[in-house]
């Protein structure tokens, strides 16, 4: 059974085939915050207000006012995902919207493609390297043609992509209102283990070892050797988890983006995302975005299999040595991501 079908079944919602979609209203604070109060689908919410490329339809029009009269199962699935985010934001408003106002500096993860009217919020450890490559091809105006020919290091050079925080506030407002906004998410603990494996078990990541590894060992390891304190390259997963749940850690500074919560990186309770892609259905969801952008004929999401990918089974093994207390505390840190993106609490968790 396909992951997308399993997700629909797991959502346990009544999904009605509606004739139309609604994007929602906008409230100007510093810039537009998309309303989370309009999950019902209605046709043609735009009229003549949406400005798109001459002779073409914008991605928002393709999503909310499709050429085909009947909604596809894919469109219904993504509506359910939007509803899940909206419902979670309302149910947990005290946690999800602690900050009533965002500033442009909060938008540094939102990558903009002017040519195709797209805004992509990148989340590290959720195929963001390949999606940055795709955004470079889409916005490069012919400079790039094959995303996999772009070195990973080049994809992460900030100057190669434009982010929403680089615009003026009126320009931010206009793009949030008229561009298709999307992000990709992953089971939170699988993403966390992936970040740990990449940043703390690979010998080449010396900057992370020095910046975070030495600090973690100093705080969490009793009788640490001087070599370990100096190098910081042998952090254990149990020590990493203890560092994350330590209240002092978040008081000191925000989490690094590789283990920061998705709702803190992309602010989905303030910005209404039109599409929520998932790592479990990565290829299908990515190609759906490309089709909406009118690039599906010439561009496809890279399909190569990564042999070192962090799996659910691997994540289960990593959590075997984590105490029940730390498991429960860690779940609370990432609870909104679990709920917002419809991930069940893992069966291996020893929640008290």
Q: What is the pLDDT of residues 293-336, one digit of tens each?
A: 999 888 999 876 667 889 999 999 999 999 999 999 999 999 99
Q: What is the pLDDT of residue 16?
A: 38
Question: Do 155 and 149 touch, CB atoms closer than 8 A?
Answer: no
Give 207's pLDDT tier (boundaries 50, 70, 90): very high
Whether 29 is in a domain gets the answer: no
pLDDT at 100: 67
The reported pLDDT for the residue numbered 44 is 35
Strand duo 118-121 + 32-34: pairing:
unpaired
**In this structure, are residues 351 and 324 in contact, taking their beta carbons and an 8 Å threshold?**
yes
pLDDT score at 141? 74
Lowest mean pLDDT among 63-67, 83-87, 107-111, 115-119: 63-67
pTM: 0.85
Counting the structural domains of the chain, the total is 1
In a domain? residue 183 = yes
The answer as to whether 35 is a domain residue is no
Q: What token pair was written down for 197?
A: 């494996």
Place of tokens 């059974």: 1
- Assess if residue 38 is contained within a domain: no
Return d(Cα 195, Cα 318) in angstroms, integer.
12
Q: What is the pLDDT of residue 265?
A: 97
Residue 222 has pLDDT above 60, yes or no: yes
Residue 242 has pLDDT above 70, yes or no: yes
For the segment 136-163, what is each residue's pLDDT rounded down to a tens digit?
999 987 788 899 999 999 999 999 999 9
Q: What is the mean pLDDT of the chain?
A: 84
Listed in order, strand segments (DSSP E) in the chain are 26-28, 32-34, 110-113, 118-121, 162-163, 180-185, 275-278
The pLDDT score that the predictor gives to residue 241 is 98
Is residue 31 included in any domain, yes or no? no
Work out the pLDDT band at 31, boundaries 50, 70, 90.
Answer: very low
The pLDDT > 70 percentage for the chain reads 80
Domain membership of residue 6 (yes or no) is no
Q: In this structure, is residue 173 part of a structural domain?
A: yes
Beta pairing partners, 184: 277
Q: Is the pLDDT of residue 49 over 50?
A: no
Q: Which domain holds residue 260?
A: 59-341
Is the residue at 1 inside a domain? Answer: no
| CB neighbour list of residue 35: distance below 8 Å, 6 or more residues apart | 24, 25, 26, 27, 272
Over 90: is that where the pLDDT of 94 sits? Answer: no
Residue 349 has pLDDT above 60, yes or no: yes
User: Which tokens hold the place of 122?
Assistant: 């990148």
Angle (CA) 207 208 214, round 5°? 105
* Helix ranges, 55-187 (H): 59-64, 73-91, 93-96, 128-139, 152-155, 169-178
């Amino acid at each position: 059974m396909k992951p997308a079908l399993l997700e629909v079944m797991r959502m346990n919602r009544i999904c009605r085939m509606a004739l139309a979609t609604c994007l929602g209203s906008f409230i100007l604070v510093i810039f537009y915050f998309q309303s989370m109060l309009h999950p019902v689908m209605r046709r043609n919410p735009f009229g003549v207000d949406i400005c798109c490329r001459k002779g073409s339809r914008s991605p928002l029009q393709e999503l909310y006012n499709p050429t085909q009269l009947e909604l596809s199962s894919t469109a219904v699935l993504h509506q359910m995902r939007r509803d899940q985010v909206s419902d979670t934001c309302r149910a947990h408003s005290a946690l999800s919207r602690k900050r009533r106002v965002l500033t442009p500096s909060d938008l540094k993860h939102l990558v903009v493609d002017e040519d195709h009217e797209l805004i992509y919020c990148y989340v590290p450890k959720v195929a963001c390297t390949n999606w940055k490559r795709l955004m470079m091809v889409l916005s490069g105006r012919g400079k790039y043609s094959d995303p996999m020919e772009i070195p990973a290091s080049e994809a992460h050079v900030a100057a190669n992509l434009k982010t929403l925080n680089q615009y003026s506030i009126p320009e931010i407002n206009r793009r949030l209102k008229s561009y298709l906004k999307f992000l990709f998410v992953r089971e939170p603990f699988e993403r966390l283990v992936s970040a740990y494996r990449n940043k703390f078990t690979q010998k080449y990541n010396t900057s992370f070892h020095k910046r975070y590894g030495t600090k973690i060992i100093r705080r969490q390891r009793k009788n640490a050797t001087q070599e370990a304190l100096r190098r910081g390259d042998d952090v254990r997963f149990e020590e990493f988890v203890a560092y994350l749940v330590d209240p002092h850690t978040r008081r000191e500074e925000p989490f690094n983006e590789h283990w920061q919560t998705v709702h803190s990186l992309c602010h989905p309770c303030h910005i209404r995302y039109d599409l929520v892609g998932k790592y479990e259905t990565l290829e299908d969801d990515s190609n759906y975005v490309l089709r909406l952008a009118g690039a599906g004929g010439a561009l496809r999401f890279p399909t190569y299999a990564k042999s070192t990918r962090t799996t659910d089974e691997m994540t289960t093994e990593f959590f075997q040595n984590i105490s029940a207390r730390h498991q429960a505390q860690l779940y609370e840190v990432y609870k909104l991501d679990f709920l917002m993106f419809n991930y069940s609490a893992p069966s291996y968790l020893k929640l008290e």
